[in-house]
Amino acid sequence: MITSANNSVIKKLKKLRQKKYRMKERRFLVEGVHLVEEALVSNIAVDTLVTSEDAPLLSVDISAHRGRVLEVNASVFATLSDTESPQGWLAVCKMPAEVEVPCGNVLLLDGIRDPGNLGTMIRTAEAAGLAGIYVSEDTVDLYNPKVIRATQGVMFHLPVIVADLKKEVSSLKEEGIKIYGTDMHSEFSYRDAKPQGATYALLLGNEAQGISPELLSSTDKTVSVPIMGEAESLNVAVTAGIIMYDWIHRERGIR
């Protein structure tokens, strides 16, 4: 059992809180019982498990885990934890080398800065049956602990790719996929936009500035979610959820 926070292995694990070190090592941290369990049953490679002496048992069998398992005392685990109430489990996971998005409806996210918003949209997109997500290079780090927590492990099961959105939009158009962008000033409601049965890409932008002008001009159509009250706008993750679920429900004839 590791009992000192000055242990060399513990020091290296702490560095994974920093984006620069995560990208260098191609590793990221997953914390909490549910998220660690999700990582273990997914295709994500887990090379280290860290458990506290007072940690609860996991509901998944870790005997097949081929990486190392480190046991630490509660005080050492607290120095690794990013939460106020540590659950005693942490996993060090490898970033996927290559990710491909299969054919189907996709989400395009331009300059999302809030980790909670990004994580919520990833979780909602998976729940709504989308094939994958492309995020711009200036979007918040996918492996930010707050993003991972907000996805509740869904990001281990849905392809999410950091990409040049200009190139992705161009490629999608070449494949005949319509690009719909959200714009609060659009005269078209999302309810009147998506053709029945057609594959689509839904583009949403930065919380404050919206979609960049260049990307917005490349969309086939812009849509808005009508505001009935006095609010100036809706949260970007809320907007994404409303549109994705409406379109998938209508596509499948769900009322």
We report the CATH number of the domain holding residue 111 as 3.40.1280.10
* pLDDT exceeds 70 at position 233: yes
* pLDDT exceeds 80 at position 255: no
* pLDDT exceeds 80 at position 238: yes
Last residue of a domain, one of 94, 117, 152: 94
How many domains does the chain fold into? Answer: 2
Q: Tell me what pLDDT residue 143 has.
A: 97
| Residues 230, 113 share a domain | yes
Distance linking the first and last C-alpha atoms of the chain: 55
* pLDDT exceeds 70 at position 117: yes
| Residues 228, 116 share a domain | yes
Which H or E element spans position 204?
strand 200-205
Orientation angle between helical segments 115-127 and 236-251, nearest 10 degrees: 10
Q: Tell me what pLDDT residue 158 has.
A: 96
Residue 2, in any domain of the structure: no
Structure tokens, 100: 């491909």
Residue 99, in any domain of the structure: no
Last residue of a domain, one of 34, 63, 94: 94
| Residues 243, 127 share a domain | yes
Q: ∠ CA(154), CA(212), CA(208), 5° rounding?
A: 70
| Residues 115, 43 share a domain | no
Last residue of a domain, one of 32, 59, 94: 94
Contact yes or no for 16/56 (Cβ under 8 A)? no
Structure tokens, 99: 């990710």
| Residues 79, 150 share a domain | no
Radius of gyration of the chain (CA): 20
Residue 68, in any domain of the structure: yes
Contact yes or no for 183/66 (Cβ under 8 A)? no
Domain hosting residue 247, numbered range: 106-252
Residue 3, in any domain of the structure: no
Contact yes or no for 35/153 (Cβ under 8 A)? yes
| Residues 245, 143 share a domain | yes
Over range 151-168, report the average pLDDT.
96
Binned at pLDDT 50, 70 and 90, residue 195 comes out as low
Structure tokens, 164: 């040049």
Q: Tell me what pLDDT residue 254 has.
A: 75
> What is the pTM for the complete model shown?
0.94
* pLDDT exceeds 90 at position 179: yes
